Structure formats: C-alpha cells, structure tokens
Structure 1
Amino acid sequence: MSDGYLTTHVLDTARGRPAARMTLVLYHIVNDTRAELARTVTNADGRTDGPILPESSFQTGTYELVFHVGDWLGEAAFLDKVPIRFVMSEEAHYHVPLLVSPFGYSTYRGS
C-alpha cells in the first residue's frame, strides 16, 4: 500500500462559502492521453467525502483535475470547466484547492 493520496477543497470567493455540489473529474495523463479515474461531487464543506485518489489507487505521474464550474454557477457562468494539470512525483498527500468566483480562479498545492 502507498502513502500517497489526493484531496481538494473548493471555495466560492465571491460569496465567501464552500462550493457545495460541484462535479469534479480526475484523469491520469499518459502520453497526452487522458484516462478518467474518478468522478465525484463536493459536499456541503466544498470537499469530497473521501480522497479523490485514495492510497489504494495512488501512483506517481501526471494528472488533471477538472472542476465543472459552469454547471455549478449556472447561467451566470463565464468559466465553464477549470482543468488543473499537475504532477505527483512522490508518495505523499497532495491537496489541490480551488478558489473560484464567476470570473476567475486560483489554485495552489495545499497541505
């Protein structure tokens, strides 16, 4: 078993609250080919109920986490899908948060 896993937290910075019920899709990227690994929805706290990529499925490599912001925002959406491509190069806890508003977003490697 690995010690690596992936989590996220989505916050609505325009309203100052968690982004509940947003769809997220995780892809593994190999030679620019995407393979879907997980599809989930954020809970009331803007997090997923468990790791998006749990320890039992973890492997190093390139991943893309796609946040379905447009579906979540509805008709007021400027943003549609926010893809974040990143590399997990060691067995560790990776946390990829998203701060989102109707007209912009920010991300970083969290803890």
Structure 2
Amino acid sequence: MSTSSTASVSTHILDTSIGRPAPGVPVSLSARGGAGWTELGTSATDTDGRCKDLPALPEGTTHVRLGFDTEAYLSAHRDSGAFFPEVTVTFAVVPGEHYHVPLLLNPFGYSVYRGS
C-alpha cells in the first residue's frame, strides 16, 4: 500500500454492444467533504475510451462520485436514443489507494466495477 495521503481515480468506458471503447463521453469527478459534494473537474473519454486527465483528490477525501454524461454518445450511436442519459457512480476511497472504475455501457444497461 502507498503512503500517500490521497487516493487517486481513473476510469474508462467500453461500449459492450459493439465491443469497442466509447470516445467523447463527458465525465465529471466530485468529492464529498464537510459541506457536501464539490466538483473537482471534468474530462472526456479519448479514442481509447479513457480519461487520462482527471484531477487529483483533495487530502482526506473518503467519498467520490464519477458522473458520465452518456446521452449524446448513446443517441449518436443508437436509433432509439439514450435509455440511460447519465450514469452516476459513488464509491468510498481510502488514502493511498488507486481506484480504477470502468463503465461497461450498452443501450439498455450498464455495470461498473473496481478494476486494476
């Protein structure tokens, strides 16, 4: 385990209906502190479906939220539009740990997990 006083977060999105990364999806990163949720920054997935520039978490962060704005991506790739226009994933973190949280997305469902 690292001795860092902060946790770190990364993510990527895979469109499981076509077996390919989902590029161009806006992603926001928020942390919960004493006054509620604070948005730390935003990014968008690259051609490999990854966000490589999410901001660092503030020291002492214990709860994190990733927001995925999936509507434009799903609407552009599906005749039926977006059943899930956004996906929000909230999870607990421990200082010194890295959390990779992939989103597996398809037109009518999604799943997330803690990756490596």
Q: Report if the CA contact (8 A) 2:32-2:61 is conserved.
A: no
2:72 paired with 1:71: yes
The alpha carbon displacement at 1:59 in A equals 4.1
| TM-score normalised to structure 1 length | 0.86
| Counterpart residue number, 2:86 | 81
CA offsets per residue over residues 2-34 of structure 1, 9 Å max, x none?
363110111000111001010001111235822
2:25 paired with 1:22: yes
Give the Cα–Cα distance (whole angstroms) in 1 for the partners of residues 10 and 28 of structure 2. 12
Q: Report if the CA contact (8 A) 1:27-1:36 is conserved.
A: yes
2:52 paired with 1:49: yes
Summarize the Cα distance change of 1:31–1:102 in structure 2 as closer, same or farther, 3 Å threshold: farther
RMSD over aligned Cα, in angstroms?
Answer: 2.1
The alpha carbon displacement at 1:60 in A equals 3.0
5+ residue gaps, structure 1: none
Q: Report if the CA contact (8 A) 2:33-2:61 is conserved.
A: no
| Counterpart residue number, 1:105 | 110
Q: Report if the CA contact (8 A) 2:7-2:94 is conserved.
A: no
Give the Cα–Cα distance (whole angstroms) in 1 for the partners of residues 52 and 68 of structure 2. 16
Give the Cα–Cα distance (whole angstroms) in 1 for the partners of residues 36 and 7 of structure 2. 22
How much identity, in percent, do the aligned residues show? 38
2:45 paired with 1:6: no
Q: Report if the CA contact (8 A) 1:60-1:91 is conserved.
A: no
Give the Cα–Cα distance (whole angstroms) in 2 for the partners of residues 58 and 71 of structure 1. 33
| TM-score normalised to structure 2 length | 0.83
Give the Cα–Cα distance (whole angstroms) in 1 for the partners of residues 43 and 112 of structure 2. 19
| Counterpart residue number, 1:96 | 101
Q: Report if the CA contact (8 A) 1:7-1:53 is conserved.
A: no
